[in-house]
């Protein structure tokens, strides 16, 4: 790291939160902070404000001041950074830091999972995406957002759940305990489900995932079927990454961390435990040449 850059800052930013980790030049953690949204598709200025707030908060906790900002190398792993115009709009903004490097949150997660080495990950959370990194060559599979992509995610699983609930109301499929749970959530008002669906976000559909996992342990037939379908979707993505040249894949995200027992033994043998997370990857972004697009 350059002599005038004495601090490393890693930022993991998405649609709901922005996490900052402040380290010394040896990677020792000095402070961490969390603020609001840092998805650059929701606005470059909004994301920058969240990032600067998180860095200022972490710096204050570490006993640093604004005078230290110019000595910080900041690595950003941000949602939305894959969109070229959004990337350039964000990077065109003024900032007080000594160095600013921007890549995607998925890239940061892949770097962290493999400790900076080449490797593959599949993130199955509210959404889903697969990433294979081989040097400068990055292969991204899926991740085109709900509802047209994101198979294997909590959002798609929740969408399928709502569809099955409505079919059960029409007497086409059985009503299970999981169906009763969803109907109770909407006060047994089908019109309320329809109205809700008009503005429901991926996270709104994904909110039912914990109950699906819980009731699958009680052999609820719908919960089991939904997890089997989700596992099949995830296995499709994992096989695609393996076909592209991945030796092993780190399975990450709230769904990914719980789905392994539902996968076939052959696929389970190709899974690897992540060595770190997106925050670790963001620190690596700060240290290296990881800008997604040329400045």
Domains along the chain? 7-115+276-287 (3.30.420.40), 154-272 (3.30.420.40)
Q: Are 104 and 235 in contact (CB under 8 A)?
A: no
pLDDT digits (tens, 9 = 90+) for 54-65: 999 999 999 999
What is the distance between the alpha carbons of residues 111 and 119, in angstroms, rounded to a whole number? 8
Q: Over the chain, what is the mean pLDDT? A: 95
Amino acid 1: pLDDT: 61
Whether the model pTM is above 0.85:
yes
pLDDT for the residue 2: 65
Q: Which residue has the tokens 């914990």?
A: 210
Cβ(249)–Cβ(272) below 8 Å: yes
How much of the chain, in percent, has pLDDT values that exceed 70?
99
CB neighbourhood size of 147 (10 A): 10
8 Å CB contact between 117 and 172:
no
């Amino acid at each position: 790291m350059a002599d005038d850059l004495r601090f490393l800052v890693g930022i993991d930013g998405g649609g709901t939160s922005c996490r900052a980790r402040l380290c010394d030049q040896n990677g020792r953690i000095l402070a961490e902070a969390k603020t609001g949204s840092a998805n650059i598709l929701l606005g470059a200025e909004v994301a920058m404000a969240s990032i600067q707030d998180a860095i200022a908060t972490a710096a204050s906790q570490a006993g640093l001041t604004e005078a230290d900002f110019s000595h910080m190398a900041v690595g950003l792993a941000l949602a939305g950074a894959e969109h070229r115009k959004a990337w350039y709009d964000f990077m065109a903004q003024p900032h007080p830091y000594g160095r600013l490097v921007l890549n995607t949150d998925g890239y940061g997660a892949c770097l962290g999972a493999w400790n900076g080495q080449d490797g593959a990950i599949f993130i199955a959370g509210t959404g889903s995406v697969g990433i294979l990194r081989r040097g400068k060559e990055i292969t991204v599979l899926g991740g085109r957002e709900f509802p047209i992509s994101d198979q294997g995610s909590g959002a798609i699983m929740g969408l399928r759940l709502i569809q099955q609930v409505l079919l059960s109301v029409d007497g086409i499929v059985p009503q299970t305990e999981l169906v009763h749970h969803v109907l109770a959530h909407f006060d047994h008002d089908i019109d309320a489900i329809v109205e809700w669906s008009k503005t429901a976000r991926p996270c709104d559909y994904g909110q039912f995932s914990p109950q699906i996992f819980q009731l699958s342990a009680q052999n609820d037939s719908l919960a089991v079927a939904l997890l089997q379908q989700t596992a099949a979707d995830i296995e499709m993505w994992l096989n695609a990454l393996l076909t592209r040249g991945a030796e092993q894949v780190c399975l990450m995200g709230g769904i990914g961390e719980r789905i392994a027992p539902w996968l076939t033994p052959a696929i389970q043998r190709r899974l690897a435990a992540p060595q770190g997370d997106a925050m670790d990857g963001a620190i690596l972004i700060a240290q290296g040449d990881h800008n997604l697009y040329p400045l």
